[in-house]
Amino acid sequence: MKSIYVTSIERFSGKTATCLALGRRFQEAGYRVGFLKPISLQPWHIGRHLADEDAAFAKEVLHLAAEPWEISPVVVTPELLKDYLAGKEPLDLEARIKSACDRVGVDRDVLIAEGGASLREGYFLGLPSSSFAEKFGCQILVVVRYQDQIRLLDDVLAAREHVGEALRGILINRVPEDALAFIQHSAQPYLEKAGVPVFGVLPEDRHLSALTVKELVEALNPQVLTSKINEEALVETLTVGAMTAEAALSRFRKGVNKGVITGGDRTDIQLAALETSTTCLILTGNLHPSPLIIKQADEFDVTILLVKANTMETIESIERIFGKTRLGQPVKLQRFMELVNAHLDFERLRQAFGIQPGK
């Protein structure tokens, strides 16, 4: 069995989506696929069991026999962290992960292991990405989210320093259209010459990183002021309305499917938002808007959420989840699969990880 350890430079790079897409692609090619989320920092309860939400979704998508708590063997809770730091008992996390790896890898051709949210994770447990690959016999794929030209190159070369010889290559994700030429003609040839294979370059798709109105409601716990709420409506961008109405209208016209954050007393900003492509109004400070605004929002199918927090607190709450490719929606997973099929050199990746053909 061959193991692919998928990690990333930073959060929201598309690591989970990549794991699931690779798993599906190998399955479609006839390989028997296993999945492991060795360490989770986000406890998620399933009945009396503690697991990882991504592991539960992977079980569903990849039709795995193992239970979510079996494929996420180490879930770091506040209690576990306290005991670990105090040295109260030998937790032997490495043995726990090794046992899980052996179980979920039985009769599998390929095991896909989802690493931490960034290359910084795992050090306090003694299991950073670099040592994980060495201890468990994995080869590493790094998912790098495009930020800008220089940062891309620094991120890739820093990843190579972190993981060393275990690195088999990278996938560059969320590349804006205006950066594709730079990647293809400059960055990729440079990285290949530097010994870092680039298996694919995935273009940015705003629908994948968008939030639904339902997810905003769950994150903000607001009062919904409109009579109708389209929970699956997508919020692709966020805009803070803290300018003049004239400036706001000019800015709002440039964006589509927006979420506009402004004070409940800014009727001018709210009207400007409603005149453009807006999915959701998020009103801060617990200030109720004019009844006219609510009526017009209902007519335009725009949801109004009223929150008690101020604007900065509201932005911080949303930023914790905005930008993450939340694949619980089947349409998002299907779209990501299409991007991977179109832009990932699957055969080159298979060969680089030593996975035999002909399955």
| Count of beta carbons in the 10 Å neighbourhood of residue 187 | 20
Query: What are the backbone dihedrals phi and psi of residue 84, each rounded to the nearest 5 degrees, phi first?
Result: -65, -45
pLDDT in tens, 136-161: 888 999 999 999 999 999 999 999 99
Q: In this prediction, what percent of the chain has a pLDDT beyond 90?
A: 50
Predicted confidence band at 341 (pLDDT cuts at 50, 70, 90)? very high
Q: Tell me what the mean pLDDT of segment 192-220 comes to.
A: 90
Round the average pLDDT of the chain to a whole number and report it: 88
Whether the domain at 2-206+325-352 and the domain at 222-306 fall into the same CATH topology: no
DSSP string, 225-268: -SS---TT-EE-EEEE--S-HHHHHHHHTT-SSEEEEEETT-HH
What are the residue boundaries of the structural domains of the chain, listed by start? 2-206+325-352, 222-306
Q: Which amino acid is at 158?
A: A
| pLDDT at residue number 232 | 83
pLDDT in tens, 48-73: 888 888 888 899 999 999 999 999 99
Residue 130, token pair as written in the block: 């670099």
41: left (phi over 0), alpha (psi -120 to 50) or beta: alpha
| pLDDT at residue number 261 | 92
Q: Is pLDDT above 60 for 239?
A: yes
Q: Is pLDDT above 60 for 212?
A: yes
What CATH homologous superfamily does 222-306 map to? Answer: HprK N-terminal domain-like (3.40.1390.20)
Predicted confidence band at 324 (pLDDT cuts at 50, 70, 90)? low
| pLDDT at residue number 3 | 92
pLDDT in tens, 281-316: 999 999 999 999 999 999 999 999 999 998 888 888
Q: Which amino acid is at 111?
A: L
What kind and span of H or E run contains 119? none
Position with higher pLDDT, 230 vs 283: 283
- β 39-40/74-75 pair status: parallel
15 close to 112: Cβ distance less than 8 angstroms = no
CATH number for the region 2-206+325-352 comes to: 3.40.50.300
| pLDDT at residue number 9 | 87
Q: Is pLDDT above 60 for 200?
A: yes
Predicted confidence band at 205 (pLDDT cuts at 50, 70, 90)? confident
Position with higher pLDDT, 120 vs 61: 61
**Long-range contacts at 286-294 (CB < 8 A, ≥ 24 apart):** 287/263, 288/225, 288/264, 289/225, 289/264, 289/265, 293/267, 294/225, 294/226
| pLDDT at residue number 329 | 61
Q: Tell me what the mean pLDDT of segment 326-344 comes to.
A: 81
